[in-house]
Amino acid sequence: MSQSDETWNPAALFGRLGHTFADVRLLAEALTHRSFVNEHPDRSAHNERLEFLGDAVLDLIVAEALMERCPGASEGELTRRRAALVNEAGLADMARRVNLGAALRLGKGEEKTSGRDRSSILSDAVEAVLGAVYLDAGYEAARRVALAWLGPALDPVVEGDLPGDAKTSLQEVLQAGAGRGPMYRVVSEEGPDHDKVFEVEIVAGGEVLARGRGRSKKEAEKDAAARALAARSVTATSGGRAPG
C-alpha cells in the first residue's frame, strides 16, 4: 500500500536509520521517489537532488575509511575497494538491512512492480538519506550513519581479495593474450620485522611488467598488478608489453 502523509511516521524510522532528524522535511524528501511526485503534482520535492549530494558524501566517507584501514594500499587498490562497497548492489543491501524500502513514498506504478525492493530505487534512497543527514547535522553525523550501515560489508573489502581486483584483471588479460599468467617475485624487503616494506615485480613472457610496494607481499603484488594495468603495459593480444 502506498504511503501517505497520514500513515508515514518519521519518528519510527529514527532508530533504524541511526539518526534523529531535526528537520524531518529532509527525511521526507530523501524517501520520496519521483513517481510519487508525478502522481501528486502539489509535491515538488523528490529525492534526486539529495541523492546527488549523498553520492559525493558517501564516496568521501568510504575513501576516508579505506585510507585509515588500508595504509599500504595504492590509489588503484583503494579505488577498487571503494567501488566494491559503493555500487548499486551493495547500497541496496544496506537499505535492506535497515528495511528502508518500507519507508519509501512511491507512486502506484512502482508499488505494483515491486519498487520497494528494486535495487536501483533502494540504492538511490540510501544516498539520498545520507545527503539528508549531512544537511541536517553535518559530516560527522553522516559518517557515523554510513559506517554503521556499511557494517558487515566493510571488513571483507578491507581484508580480502576482491572479485575483479588488479591481480585478477591482470591474470585474465595475460591468459587471454598468451595463455599464461604472471609470476610474482619479491625483489627486496626493507625495515624491521614489525614494519617491513616489500617490493615485488611481475614477470610474464620473460619480461618484467611492473614493480609494486606494500607492507605485505600480497599488498605489494596488488600494487604491482595495478601499476601494470594503469600503465597500459599489458594488452590482451600480446600478453606482454605493448609496443612503445
- The catalytically annotated residue of 77, 93, 110, 127 is 127
161 an active-site residue?
Answer: no
Residues 209-215: contacts with CB under 8 Å, at least 24 apart: 209/182, 209/233, 209/234, 209/240, 209/241, 211/187, 212/74, 214/72, 214/73, 214/74, 215/71, 215/72
Grid cell locating 6: 497520514
Q: What are phi and psi of 166, to 5 degrees?
A: -60, -40
Residues 140, 22: Cα–Cα separation, whole Å: 15
Question: What 8-state DSSP symbol labels residue 23?
Answer: S
Q: All 3 cell numbers of residue 9? A: 511516521
User: 187, 193 in Cβ contact below 8 A?
Assistant: no
Whether 127 sits among the annotated catalytic residues: the reply is: yes
Active-site residue identified among 29, 55, 93, 201: 55
Name residues whose C-beta falls within 8 Å of residue 238's C-beta, 6 or more positions apart in sequence: 177, 178
Catalytic annotation, residues: 55, 127
